Every structure is written in structure tokens, then in C-alpha cells.
Amino acid sequence: MKLSRLALAVTLTPGLTLAANPAEPYQAPPLVVTSGRQAEPQRQATAATSVFTRQDIERLQVRSVPELLSRVPGISIVQNGGRGSLTSVFIRGANSNQTLVLVDGVRLNAAASGLARLEFLSPEQIERVEVVRGPRSALYGADAIGGVIQIFTRRGEAGLQPRVRLAAGTQQSFERSLGLSGGDDQTRFDLGASLDESAGFDRSNDARGRDADHDGLRRQALNLSLDHRFNDQLKGGFNLLDQRGETEYDDLFSFAPGNPSERFSVSSIAAHLEARLLDAWTSRLELGHTEDKSDNRDRFNSGNNFSFNTYRDSASWLNTLRLSDSQKLLLGADWYEDRLNSSSDFSETARWNQAAFIQHRYQGDGFATELGLRHDDNEQFGSENTANAALTLNLSQQLDLILSYGEGFHAPTFNDLYLDIPPFFGGNPDLDPEHSKTYEVQLRGEHLDTVWSLAAYRTEVTDLITVVSDPVTFFSQPQNVNKARLQGLELSLERNLLGWQAVLSAGWVDPRDRDTGHTLPRRAKRSLSLDLDRQFGDFGAGLSWQAASSRYDNAANTVEVAGYGLLGLRGSWKMSNELNWQVKVENLLDKDYSQATYTRPDNSTLFSPVTRYGFREEGRSAQLSLTWTPSL
């Protein structure tokens, strides 16, 4: 599967930076691991990469992973009604299932749908998030067309540090979490648990019967990490993340609505062992297991009862060879097996994938190169070869130009291949993977106390999987029929402005169906995010402004969802060395907006007219929290 070298530096706290000085705590900011599947300074990463540290998560007071990702240039977020609702993440206009999501190196995307349920992950269990924009299939295999999102669970530091957090807010929202972090020069650990509850709000504009109620969310989370250095040549550890709970939603597609809810469970376990076999050779073995369980139940409407449970076992072997001071070779092999247990009929419920890859890196005076190749062999769709190449030119000490090319592919999901719901839907076992080719130019610089980057890209996607319906029988089946062109610009700026820490990101994307000329649905063409934060002694203040342009909600481009702008304020007070208060107000202007729409029948007849409505997003909301970190 895909446990990555990513963990090489991050899945193991005493890794990377501690290798040089085991007494020092894990220092994430200078290093990224997702772009090249090995630790490297962010400036050397050839792929455009955004990083959020634990300090960023706490400063921004984010309450969900999608809220954090909305600050990345080129990303469009679509929720079907606030936190806990079905969420789609479009990176550079690519489909949600064309983005690979990893947790501590383990692939999280569900085998049934191809989606990773990011809306269920609690920020309290997260140490760091890296977002790579652009194809990485030459390193990670299937599903990395749009990019890779890498989530690292919390890590321990030397000493012993307990933590307790309590929060209360509008919509009868309550959050509680506690944890314990500690260790010494050889061993580090972190154990944390949290419980979030909210009565929620009505996620749809459908006021029929039971659909007029509020849709709540309950989420329990647990994380555990343990890392140990046996000696100077050998280290290992494991990470556990478990999220489970229940989220309510409206029954939008029946004339007599029920009261459905989804009981979810998303979990991952990653283990690794790394050895320095020679001065120039480091070898790493990674093992992983993930589960994605979804059980939908409705006591008023049995048509809403269904379940999809997917399981994945994985293994990776990575070898880093330092050929010289300027050359490095990465050799690796991946294996994973998917299994499915569902209430729906599938003719096949298991498949395996095995792969081998190689990547060469050269870092010279004034320029650097990267060249990679990967071969995947899958039990269902056969073999795939992908390649990537990049050239970095150091135009000056403060300015880099990066030219890159990358290939990607998205594997058909179990739903695409085998889901059978007669007489209206049938899977297509003859589907081929979707393929992509991306050309990109990046400029990165540091000028006038500003760190900035500008990227322009163009992606051609072929063999797009589209559900085709027969107009007479209404039977639908996925087919490889469409082509798409994704092109755009991304800008990010970060600087200190009159004492304020300012972070700006902007994206322009044109995701277009080449066959029809229509814009691909649910992608905002323009997006903007601005965060301003400043510390006044023990007090902190912050402001966020996020804006998204209008988007089409259907492939025919006949339904348009209006754009929106959201203003948020936040503050903090460090009452003592152990107590910290935080307050946050989101959607301060109480903007009424939607990110997606839905249709429902007007009456119970077979061909009754339908009316289109918008999903509701949360209005003005506030939260007050207290964090206690007692000294031991």
C-alpha cells in the first residue's frame, strides 16, 4: 500500500532531526516528507507543498480538517451541510477520489468509494498536515492525480506533559479532550482522547416532516504514538488513530422523509522499523492497517439502511542510498490488499496491488534534478507505469524556478467495478484507470521579508469514468468516456506586516470537460484565503477572510451555486503558564450560503416533478475554550 517514507521523518518523532541530536525534540517546520517520500527541506521539494503545524492548528482554532484545508491555494471544499456532512476536496480541479490521503503513511481512501472521510477526523489528534499539489503517482501509485494530503498524528516530546481542553459553543456544541505526552532521549510517546458533540442545525432547506429537525454530530477520537531508538543504527515505532461516532442527515430523496443517520468508524495503524545498514544505506520497513466503516440506519425508512465496510493491509520497503554528497537514490516496493464487506451486492470483494519504484535526486550548484519511475500491478485492472521529472534552477540565493512533469492514474473503485443495484445500476468490471499528464512551472522566492510562491499548471486527464444512463431503461453504468483539462494559477504569500503575521493564498482554476466544453461541477474557479494574527503580550488576536466564486452544481452547467465570502475573528489570553483561553467567531456576518444543491420529488408519483434546493452551511457561530497544561 502506501506507508510512506513520509513516516521516515515524521511517523517517528525521534527520527530525522533527532538522528542528528537525540536530545532535541522533533522539529517539523524545516522539513517535509510527502513530496519526495523522504525528509528534505521544504525549499528542495519539487512539488508545491503547504504545511500546517500543531502551532498553526491551535492558532487558527480550526474545528475540522476541511476547515484547515480550505486555506490551501488551489483547493475547493464542498460540504453537504456543515461539519460532519459528506465533504469533497478538489485539488486543482481534480475529483475528490483523485486525491490520495495518508495518515502516518497509511492510505486512508476507502476502497468502495475512493473517498477519504476527512470530515470525521478530529484536529485534536493531529500534529501536522502536509498538502502536496500535483501528481505523485510515480511515488505513491493510484489516486494521486490531484495531489497527496498527508496527516501525522500527535508526537511526544522529552519530559512529561499532560493536557486538558474544554470548549463550548453555539448549536449546543461541546468538546472535551485530554492527553499525555512524554519521553526521554530514546523513547517518546503521546496518548490522547477527545469527545465532540453538537446538536447541529438543519442541514437542508427541506422542511418536510422529520427533515425539519436539527442534524447533530457525535465524534470520539483516540490517538497513540510510540517511538523508540534502540541504538544509533536502529529505531522503530507505531501509531494508532481511531475516529468513530454518528452524524445525522436529512432524507432528501424520498417523498415521505425518514430520519437517517450514519454510524462511522475510521481507523489506521502504522508500524515501522528503520535501520542504518551502511553509512550510505538506510532501509525502512513499514506495515499498516486501515478500516473505513459506514453503517446507515433509519427506523422510519428501511430504504435508508445500508453499510459499506472496507479494510486494507499494507506493507512498504524503502531504501535510501546516498551515492555521493550530491546524489541520492530511493528504491522501494509497496503492497496492499483491499477487502470489502457491504450490504449491497458485489461480485468481487477483494483485490491486491503490488508495486516497485525508483527515484533519483541530484542536488548541484545552481540546479537540481529529480527523475522517478514506478510500476504497479493490480489484480483487477492490470499494470500501470508512471513517471515524473523535475528541474530546479537556482536563479539567485532567494529565487528558484522549477519545471516539472508528472503522470498519474486513478484506479476504478469497487463501486465502479462491481456495485449492482438492479434494475437501475450496475458496475463495469471492464473499466480502465483514469490517466493524467501534468506540466507545471513554479517560482519560489524570499524578498522584502516575504516568502512567496507562484505556480502555473496544466493537466490533461483521459479515460474519465462517467456514469452513463440509458434514456429508455434508466439503467446506469460507469464508462470510460470523457476527457478533462485542468489548468490554473496558484499564489501564496507569508510575511510579517506591521507586527501582524499575514498568510495569503489564492487560486484560479479552469476545470473543463473537453468533450462538452462545460466546467466540471462543484469546483469554484476562484478562491482566496487570508489569515492575520498578532500577539500583544499575553493576548492574541486574529482575523480570517475566505472567499469562493460561484460554481456549477451539475455537469450540464445549468445549475449555479452562488459564491460567498466569510469573515471570522479569534482571540486568546494566556492567563498563566498552564492556562490558555481562546474564543472564536465564525461567519461573523451570518452569511446565508450553500456549497452544493440537491433535488427532491414534489410528490410520490413515479415521474413527479422535482425541486432543487441548497444544502445549508452553518451561520454565525462562536466557541469558547480553555486549555490546561499543568507542569509535572
Task: Please determine, for residue 17, whether its predicted confidence score (pLDDT) is greater than 90.
Answer: no
Percentage with pLDDT > 90 across the chain: 80
322-350: string of b/e by CB count within 10 Å (b at 16+)?
eeeeeebebebebbbbbbbebebebeeee
Q: What is the pLDDT of residues 114-158, one digit of tens each?
A: 999 999 999 999 999 999 999 999 999 999 999 999 999 999 989
CA distances from 241 to 122, 205, 284 (A): 10, 35, 21
Give the mean pLDDT of 328-337.
98
- pLDDT exceeds cutoff 60 at 12: no
pLDDT at residue 598, as a whole number: 84
CB 551 within 8 A of CB 76: yes
Give per-residue pLDDT as tens, 546-592. 999 999 998 899 999 999 999 999 999 999 999 999 999 999 999 99
Q: Name residues whose C-beta falls within 8 Å of residue 430's C-beta, 6 or more positions apart in sequence.
A: none
- Quote the pLDDT of residue 603: 65
Least confident of 77-91, 279-293, 377-391, 602-616: 602-616
The whole-number pLDDT of residue 420 equals: 87
The model's confidence at residue 5, banded by pLDDT at 50, 70 and 90, is very low
Reported as type and span, the H/E element at residue 229 is strand 215-231
pLDDT in tens, 196-221: 999 999 988 776 767 778 899 999 99
pLDDT in tens, 29-61: 469 999 999 999 998 999 999 999 999 999 999
611 pLDDT band, cuts 50/70/90, is confident
Q: Is the dihedral of CA 89, 94, 96, 98 positive or negative?
A: negative
Instruction: Tell me which residue has cell 480538517.
Output: 65
Residue 304 clears pLDDT 90, i.e. is over it: no
Query: How do residues 49-103 score in pLDDT, each as one tens digit?
Result: 999 999 999 999 999 999 999 999 999 999 999 999 999 999 999 999 999 999 9
C-alpha closest to that of 576 among 627, 511, 508, 527: 627
Does residue 9 sit in helix, strand or coil? helix
Answer yes or no: are the C-beta atoms of 225 and 270 closer than 8 Å.
no
Q: What is the pLDDT of residue 30?
A: 67
In terms of C-beta density within 10 A (0-12 exposed, 13-18 middle, 19 or more buried), how is residue 405 classed?
middle
d(CA 172, CA 182): 34
Q: Name residues whose C-beta falls within 8 Å of residue 361's C-beta, 6 or more positions apart in sequence.
A: 36, 327, 328, 329, 330, 368, 369, 370
The CATH classification number of 6-378+391-472+485-628 equals 2.40.170.20
Q: What is the mean pLDDT of residues 602-627?
A: 82
CA dist., res. 341 & res. 479, Å (int): 24
Q: What letter represents residue 237's amino acid?
A: G
